Structure 1
Amino acid sequence: MSPSATGSAAESSYATPLKGICPSTVVIQANWWPGLPDGYLYQLLGPNPTIDVSKNRVEGPLGATGVRLQVRAGGPATGFQPVTSLLAQDDSILAGYVGTDEAVQASGGRPPVAVFAPYEKSPLALIWGNPAWNFTNVAEIRQSGATVLASASGTSFPDVFVREGSLTKSQVDTSYQGSPDRFVAADGKIVQQAFVTNEPYLLQHDVKAWGKPVKHLLLQDEYPAYISALAVRPDKLSTQRACLAKLVPLLQRAQRDYVANPAPVNQLLLKVVSTLHTGGFTLSSGLLAYGNATQKQLGLIADGSDGVLGSFDTARVGKLIGRLVPVFTAKGSTPKAGLVPSDLVTNEFLDKTVALK
C-alpha cells in the first residue's frame, strides 16, 4: 500500500473536529530520526505529507480534523538537545517525547506532564553475543564482571543499578554512541545498551562483521520507565486542555490502528528517512517488520494496568521517582522537592474505552 493510501485511511478514520480547538498546526517533537516509535503519529497524517529536508520535519493534514500535524525529528536533528529543553524554548511545540527519567531530571524547573504512554513496557534492553552468558537479571551481569556499555546521556538506568548494587561502577562504560564497532571488536563479549526492537536485528542482518543472533535481557522488570511518553509543558496542560481532550483519544486510536496494520505507515517512514539527510541513519522494511513483530510478541505496546491503551500506572511512576531522585541529586540536577506522580503524568485526557484487547 502506498503512502497516499495511508493518508486516505487517516482522512476516513480520524475526523474529530479540532479546528478552533487545537492550534492550526499541532507540533510534536520526537527524540530521534523517524522510526518505529513514531508510527502512531504517522498513522494520523493525511495524503502526501510534506517532507522538509532543511528542518527535518514532516507535515500534513491531521486526518480530517481541520488542523495540520507536524512531526519534528530529534536527537541528531536537534543537536542532541533534550526534548524538555526544546519544549521550554519553543512555544509552537504542543508536545514532545519525554521518558520518565528525563522528566524527573527536569522537574526542578517546569516539569513536562505526560498525557499519553505509547509504550506500556520499555523496549530498553541489554544485549550480548557471548554464547556462554545466559543472564536472567542485572545482578548476574554484575557477578560476571562483564563490561556494560551504555550511553552517557538520555538514560539513567546504569546510575540507578550502580546505586542499588545491581552493577558496580567500575564495570559501566558510558562511551556508547550507537555504533556497533565496539560490540564487534569485543566479539560480543560485552553487554551493550539497546532497544530490543532495533539493535538485535541490525547486528544480525545489517552489520556484516557480526551477522548472527545476539541474546538480550529486557529491562522492564528491573527498570520500568515509560519511554518516549508524549508530554506537554505544565502551562499548556491548562491552556490546551480542550485540545488535549480531543487529541489524545485520536492518538490512542492511531496507536491501536498502527499495531493492527503497520505496513502502510512503514512505507511512509521509509520514504521520509530516505529523503531526509540523516547522517547515515537508515531504516529498512526488514527492520520495521522485525520491530513490529517484536513489540507485539513482547507486549511492549499494550493496555495499561487499568485496561486503557496509553495510560500511566501512578504507583509505578512513584517508585521510579523514589529511585531516580537520589541519582539526579547526586549529579547536581536536583529534582523538584516533594515530587509526586501527578507532577509528571496524567490520565485525564484518555478515552477509557480505547484498548488493544
Structure 2
Amino acid sequence: MADRSFLDWPFFEDHHRELADALEVWCADTLPVDHTDVDAACCDLVAKLGTAGWLTHSATDDGTAPDVRTLCLIRETLARHDGLADFAFAMQGLGMGPVTLFGTDEQRAWLSETRMGRAISAFALSEPASGSDVANIATEACPDGNGFVLNGEKTWISNGGIADVYTVFARTGEGPGAKGLSAFLVPADSAGLEVAERIDVIAPHPLARLRFDGVKLPGSALIGEPGKGFRIAMSVLDVFRSTVGAAALGFARRALEETLARVRERHLFGAPMSELQMVQGHVADMALAVDAAALLVYRAAWTKDRGADRVSREAAMAKLHATETAQDVIDKAVQLHGGDGVRSGQIVEQLYREIRALRIYEGASDVQKVVIARAAMGD
C-alpha cells in the first residue's frame, strides 16, 4: 500500500480525505482495465468514471475553476493504479476547461455530457509547427457571415479520433502573435473535420493529427471573446498544469511501492536486498523525491484554490519537479528490479513508458524553466 500520510498535511480538508478514501476503494475494485484495444479501453474508462461520479469534479457549473486539490488527488490516485484511467479523467477536464471557465450557457450543455461520461472531449492546441510556441499557431478561423470557416491542422491531440467534441484554438487576426488567437467549440461530426492520422506512442493513448478543411462554424462556437484565445489557453493550463505533476507523483509512488516490495522479498548474497546500503541509498533518494514533489504539487493546488488569480510560477515548479523526479524514481525502480524491470508487461516497465510523455505535454520541462526564471526575475 502506498504511503497516504500526506493526506494529513494542512493543504487538505476533510472532504479531500473522504474523497481520497472513496476513490482508493473504487480503484481497487475497478482498475486496471484491459488495454489491448486502447480506444475501447479509454471509452470504457470515461463511461466508468462518469457513472461513478468522479467526472463531476472535472468541471464546475458556475464558471469558476474546479477545486485543483481534488483534481490532483484524483489524478495521483488514478495514475498509481492505471495510467490510462488518469489520461481518461484528465482529458475530460482539460478538453472542456475553456468551456468551464469562459463558455456560454449553450456551450455548457456539453458539460452535462462530459461529466457523466456520455461524451469525450479533447483540447486541440498543438500544431506541426507550433507546440510550445503557442503564439505561432497557423490554423485560421476566418469570418464568414455570422460565423467562421476553420482551416488548418492540429497534431498530438489527446483523444483525437475518439472525441465527440474538440476545443480548437485558431488565428482570427485581432493582433500579431498571441494577440490574434481565439477558441472554438467544434463537434467531431462537423463537415470538413478529418482525422488525418492516428499517432502511436510508447505508452499507448488515443492520439491523432486533425485536419480542418473549410469547417463552417456558427458564431455561437466562439468561446469567450475574439482574440482572447491565448489568455483562455493559459488560464486553463494554469489550472491543469499542477495536475500533470500529480499524475507523475502517482506514477512515482507506485514505483516506490513496487520497489519496496521487491527489495524486501528479493535476496542477494544471503540477505534481503533491503539490507544492502547501496539499495537503501536508492530507496532514500526515491522517498525524498516523492515527498518533495508532493509538497510542490499540493502547494500549487492549494494556492490556486485559495483564490490566486494566476499560479504560473507555482504550477510550473510543481510540473517540472514532479515529472523530472518521477522519471528518476521510476528509472531507479527499473534498476532495482534487474532483468524483470525491463520485461514487457511488468508494472515498472509500464511506468517507465508512461512517465516520459509527462515531461513534454502541457509545457515541456525547458519551457517550465523559462516560466520559473521569468517569475523569479519579476518579468
- Please state which band the TM-score falls in when normalised by the shorter chain: 0.3 to 0.5
Question: Larger Rg: 1 or 2?
Answer: 2
Q: For CA contacts below 8 A with separation 6 or more, give which structure has more relative contact order.
A: 1
| TM-score (norm. length: structure 1) | 0.33
